Amino acid sequence: MMTTAVPDRKTTWVSIGIIGTMFFIFGFVSWINAILIPYFKIACELSNFQSYLVAFAFYISYLLMSMPSSYLLKKVGYKNGIMVGFWIMAAGAFLFVPAAYNRAYVIFLVGLFTLGTGLAVLQTVANLYITMIGEKERAAQRISMMGICNKGAGILAPLIFSYTILRPQDNELFRQLPLMDEMTRAAALDDLILRVVWPYTVVGILLFLIGGAIKLSILPELPQEQESAVPGQGKSRQSIWQFPHLILGALAIFLHVGTQVIAIDTIINYAGSMGLSLLEAKSLPSYTLTATIIGYLSGIMLIPKLCSQRTMLKICTLLGLTLAIFVCTMHGQVHLFGMDLDISIWFIVLIGLPNALIWAGIWPLALDGLGHLAKQGSALLIMGLCGNALLPLLYGVLADAFDVKSAYWILTPCFLYLVFYAFRGHRLRQWTPAQKKK
């Protein structure tokens, strides 16, 4: 059984504060993609599919780099690993400078992949740490606190970034672009894309400095004895593939994060199909993230005093499934927050509410009983974050083939699986049925 990794109370709370700061940075860097996708679509003249390569390049690094991250952490330790992770992210941010000067979408994608690689290292540390740092029954509560830091940054990131790179006169520019001759349009787009240079230069410098600061902080290493074999499981298991609830949990993470990113990163383009410009729709991702924060706050208040994290996971997956179906089947104009939009877009916003506690519910259940394999198990769950890369890309394919609303049907099978994991999948402890003793 996982026990408190840091026995000193003061050090524990300082550590939680440091990890919370890391989650804030994760959120700020990650949710800027909600603006980058429509921004690059205009500036680099992309299709829906091509624009969602932003999410693909950023999150596919979790699939490719999470397991190597676990070996890096074993080799250099947690604090050195955190420093390396931040410095890798800084390198990714600096790549935006040559990419902008050449309006080279491929270099932007390499920069995003590098940012994601650094995040893969940091997420492997942070999620394992916050799960193991206290009582297992309160893991979902602690993860909810980290989620507030993450999604709070996510609310600010699109607003700050759009304020930095967009101008009030851009609506007129975007309308005029198709009417310009090739040379004039190229010059206008070059000027547009250069606006990312100084924001990402500042971000790169800050990430580099934060890495060094955390290296010098009092954040302790996670004691190796906390990862000793778990008693009561009989013969020790030597591979993470021997834990069905972990493998099924990684798939659940894959589908869950995919639904989360689809709900946030596609909503501006969906609003565009209803006549809203990028400047008018820029706040919609923040609405979804606000709903997510409300979900996290609910988790902090309800878990475990009034509701177990398993029960909450069941409730949230069923609610997510219901909202996903409503997105595709409900119609009608609604005037809200000064916008006249189809009601389906507000169901997308509301998906943020149950999504908050799905992650918090899956993580401790999937890592339960892994013992000395906890690091590898955490890395496998982080690999599941590549759902952020693949599912939005599939949404883009469906949007190009059909329409942007019909493409949201992709959410329904994802939530159906999450319902299965919440009710049944997390309880499976072996791949074959147990043989009854004679």
- Tens digit of pLDDT for each residue in 320-346? 999 999 999 999 998 888 888 999 999
Mean pLDDT of the chain: 84
Nearest alpha carbon to residue 137 among 298, 307, 8: 307
Provide the residue ranges of all domains of the chain, joining segments of one domain with +: 9-220+240-427
The answer on pLDDT for 8 being more than 70 is no
Which pLDDT score is estimated for 424? 93
Class of domain 9-220+240-427: mainly alpha
> Looking at the predicted structure, is the pLDDT value of residue 134 above 60?
yes
Q: Please give the pLDDT value at position 301.
A: 85
Phi, psi at 305, each rounded to 5°? -60, -50
Helix (H) or strand (E) holding 340: strand 339-342
> Is the pLDDT at 356 greater than 50, yes or no?
yes
More confident position, 169 or 237: 169
How far apart (Å, rounded) are the C-alpha atoms in residues 99 and 97?
5
Question: Which pLDDT score is estimated for 367?
Answer: 85
Q: Would you say residue 177 has pLDDT above 70?
A: yes
The answer, as to whether pTM is greater than 0.95, is: no
Tokens 């690059």 locate to 40
Number of other residues whose CB lies within 10 A of the CB of residue 131: 25
How far, rounded to the nearest angstrom, does the alpha carbon of residue 241 sit from its chain's CA centroid? 24
Instruction: Provide the pLDDT confidence category of residue 296 given band limits of 50, 70 and 90.
Output: confident
CB neighbours of 179 closer than 8 A, spacing ≥ 6?
A: none
**DSSP bridge partners of 339:** 336
Helix, strand, coil share (%) of the chain residues, nearest 5: 80, 0, 20
For residue 181, the one-letter residue type is D
